[in-house]
């Protein structure tokens, strides 16, 4: 029987952030250092149990769920090492994006972008290709340039250039990441402005507007059929006005202070990434279907964002500039009928689902969407030939079994 000071028998259910996903692992591991992380993996492998890193449990999809061993890296957090002149830092895998932003800012560094929410762990964000918005800005996984992880044999290895394209967006299936080396920018300030308008006033100019700011996204509200635009630019840059739009919020601060906002209400989410050149067409079809079928039951916004192309094997922006369209539903209300209906639209436009959010696809559906799928599988199988990090759900997602 497993016994270790950082691997505890579990008698309680674990839930994700929204409460829509509940699971009960047999054991919960919270390692304090790499030695304990290695022991957890060795003990689990010896007893034929699967190991699943759970991050801060912000995912809506079952990628964090397991009946065997759930591992939180929360005790392995903080800024370990950095070089401000060279533009990199080594951080503990369990560091929250919020805490990391403050620590980096204190030493003159910053991430190139953040998403709407910053409560996730950095390892969770990197592992699921979490992103913000901006025509020239890639997802957060692309920051990863090295680090360390515990592989399925219970040994520590460097995250080197030979596996870096698989490690970015690896979904916790290559090993337990313990420390991440990130490529960063000198810290910078941004002016955040939010504008209220209507779709008819802004949509034909969306292309122009999205190129006019460092960060740009659009929120559409089905009940009112109104729109909020968000722009973030270095102070003194970006539009001073948007025709037909009313400025309703303006604030300035360091990037880590203004890119993300606190969220009190909890929700479930589906997001698909489509090629940027069909983004507007896809959104209009999504809007039409919501207005016709779901407007009475959906009060939450639809979020429209931009992500630049990258070369990570399982990135939703792999090889193509991307528009992401996100559906939200209050976590106390049903979402299945709504999400399933709109998912069909996303798929017709070549959409790829966000790995950490709800979707209905499995390996046979996903493989054609990713040109480097087989390369990822090769790396994963080499590092974990016995499938120690491959739970039943992850097996269906990646192997079709």
Token code pair at residue 311 = 């070369």
Domain presence at residue 71: no
State which of 155, 186, 217 marks the end of a domain: 186
Q: Does one domain contain both 242 and 309?
A: yes
How far is Cα of residue 28 from the mean position of the Cα atoms in its chain?
23
Domain presence at residue 363: no
CATH number of the domain to which 164 belongs: 3.30.465.10
Stretch among 60-64, 79-83, 225-229, 362-366 having the lowest mean pLDDT: 60-64
* Secondary structure of residue 158 in the 3-state scheme: strand
| Nearest alpha carbon to residue 118 among 269, 258, 325, 253 | 258
Q: Does one domain contain both 208 and 331?
A: yes
- 1-5, 131-135, 331-335, range with greatest mean pLDDT: 131-135
Q: How many CB atoms lie within 10 A of CB 384?
A: 19
Residue 189 has pLDDT above 80, yes or no: yes
Predicted pLDDT of residue 300: 84
Q: Does one domain contain both 320 and 333?
A: yes
Percentage of the chain exceeding pLDDT 90: 86
Between CA 107 and CA 88 the distance in angstroms is 11
Predicted pLDDT of residue 6: 64
Domain presence at residue 335: yes
Predicted pLDDT of residue 367: 97
CATH number of the domain to which 216 belongs: 3.40.462.20
The confidence band for 399, taking pLDDT boundaries of 50, 70 and 90, is very high
Range(s) of the domain holding residue 314: 190-353
| Nearest alpha carbon to residue 107 among 78, 130, 148 | 78
Q: Does one domain contain both 214 and 331?
A: yes
For 74-116, the pLDDT digits (tens) are 999 999 999 999 999 999 999 999 999 999 999 999 999 999 8
Predicted pLDDT of residue 5: 64
Predicted pLDDT of residue 328: 92
Domain presence at residue 204: yes
Predicted pLDDT of residue 75: 95
Percentage of the chain exceeding pLDDT 70: 98
Token code pair at residue 100 = 């990391």
Helices 336-348, 279-289: crossing angle, 10 deg rounding: 150
Q: Does one domain contain both 202 and 320?
A: yes
For 34-62, the pLDDT digits (tens) are 999 999 999 999 999 999 999 888 888 88
Token code pair at residue 205 = 């100019």
Predicted pLDDT of residue 3: 55
Residues 6+ apart with CB under 8 A from 48: none
Between CA 339 and CA 361 the distance in angstroms is 12
* Secondary structure of residue 215 in the 3-state scheme: strand
User: Strands of 51-53's sheet, edge to edge?
Assistant: 7-9, 27-29, 69-71, 51-53
Q: Does one domain contain both 178 and 231?
A: no
For 236-283, the pLDDT digits (tens) are 999 999 999 999 999 999 999 999 987 777 888 999 999 999 999 999
Predicted pLDDT of residue 8: 76
List strand residue ranges (DSSP E) for 154-297, in order: 156-158, 176-183, 185-186, 189-198, 215-221, 226-233, 246-254, 267-275
Predicted pLDDT of residue 13: 86
Q: Give the DSSP per-residue string, 302-350.
A: EEEEEE--B--TT-TTBTS-EEEEEEEEETTS--HHHHHHHHHHHHHTT
H helices of 133-212, in order, are: 164-167, 199-202, 206-211
The confidence band for 11, taking pLDDT boundaries of 50, 70 and 90, is confident
Token code pair at residue 135 = 């025509």
| Nearest alpha carbon to residue 233 among 247, 218, 214, 250 | 214
Domain presence at residue 210: yes
Predicted pLDDT of residue 108: 98
Predicted pLDDT of residue 254: 98
Q: Residue 349 in contact with residue 282, Cβ under 8 Å?
A: yes
For 137-171, the pLDDT digits (tens) are 999 999 999 999 999 999 999 999 999 999 999 99
Average pLDDT over residues 371-394: 97
Beta strands 22-23 and 7-9, pairing class: unpaired
The confidence band for 309, taking pLDDT boundaries of 50, 70 and 90, is very high
Residues 6+ apart with CB under 8 A from 63: 128, 171, 172, 355, 356, 393, 394, 397
Between CA 367 and CA 375 the distance in angstroms is 11
Residue 126 has pLDDT above 90, yes or no: yes
Q: Does one domain contain both 216 and 335?
A: yes
Stretch among 45-59, 131-145, 225-239, 365-379 having the lowest mean pLDDT: 45-59
State which of 186, 216, 242 marks the end of a domain: 186
Q: Residue 338 in contact with residue 255, Cβ under 8 Å?
A: no
Average pLDDT over residues 225-245: 96
For 334-346, the pLDDT digits (tens) are 899 999 999 999 9
Predicted pLDDT of residue 4: 60
What mean pLDDT value characterizes the chain? Answer: 94
The residue assigned the tokens 């039943």 is 392
Q: Residue 137 in contact with residue 113, Cβ under 8 Å?
A: yes
State which of 353, 375, 390 marks the end of a domain: 353
Between CA 129 and CA 197 the distance in angstroms is 30
- Beta bridge partners of residue 127, listed in sequence order: none
Q: Does one domain contain both 84 and 173?
A: yes
Residue 1 has pLDDT above 60, yes or no: no
Predicted pLDDT of residue 265: 77
């Amino acid at each position: 029987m497993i016994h270790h000071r950082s691997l505890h028998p579990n008698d309680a259910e674990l839930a994700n952030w929204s409460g829509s996903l509940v699971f009960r692992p047999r054991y919960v591991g919270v390692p304090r250092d790499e030695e304990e992380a290695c022991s957890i993996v060795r003990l689990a492998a010896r007893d034929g149990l699967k190991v699943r890193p759970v991050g801060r449990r912000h995912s809506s999809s079952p990628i964090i769920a397991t009946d065997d061993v759930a591992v939180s890296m929360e005790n392995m957090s903080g800024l370990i090492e950095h070089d401000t002149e060279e533009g990199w830092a080594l951080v503990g895998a369990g560091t929250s994006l919020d805490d990391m932003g403050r620590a980096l800012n204190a030493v003159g560094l910053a991430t190139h972008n953040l998403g709407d929410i910053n409560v996730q762990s950095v390892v969770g964000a990197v592992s699921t290709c979490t992103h913000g918005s901006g025509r020239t800005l890639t997802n957060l996984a692309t920051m990863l340039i090295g680090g360390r992880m515990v592989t399925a044999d219970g040994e520590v290895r460097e995250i080197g250039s030979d596996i870096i394209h698989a490690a970015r967006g690896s979904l916790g299936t290559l090993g337990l990441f313990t420390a991440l080396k990130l490529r960063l920018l000198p810290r910078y300030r941004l002016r955040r402005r939010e504008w209220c308008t209507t779709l008819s006033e802004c949509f034909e100019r969306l292309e122009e507007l999205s190129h006019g700011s460092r960060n740009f996204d659009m929120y559409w509200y089905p009940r009112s059929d109104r729109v909020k635009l968000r722009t973030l630019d270095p102070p003194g840059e970006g539009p001073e006005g948007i025709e037909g739009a009313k400025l309703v919020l303006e604030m300035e601060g360091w990037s880590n202070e203004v890119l993300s906002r606190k969220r009190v209400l909890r929700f479930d989410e589906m997001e698909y990434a489509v090629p940027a050149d069909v983004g507007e067409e896809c959104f209009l079809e999504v809007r039409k279907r919501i207005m016709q079928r779901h407007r009475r039951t959906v009060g939450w916004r639809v979020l429209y964002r931009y992500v630049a192309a990258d070369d990570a094997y399982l990135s939703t922006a792999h090889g193509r500039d991307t528009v992401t369209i996100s559906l939200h539903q209050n976590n106390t209300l049903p979402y299945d009928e709504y999400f399933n209906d709109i998912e069909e639209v996303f798929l017709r436009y070549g959409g790829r689902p966000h790995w950490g959010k709800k979707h209905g696809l499995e390996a046979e559906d996903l493989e054609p969407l990713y040109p480097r799928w087989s390369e990822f599988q090769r790396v994963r199988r080499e590092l974990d030939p016995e499938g120690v990090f491959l739970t039943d759900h992850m097996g269906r997602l990646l192997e079709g079994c």
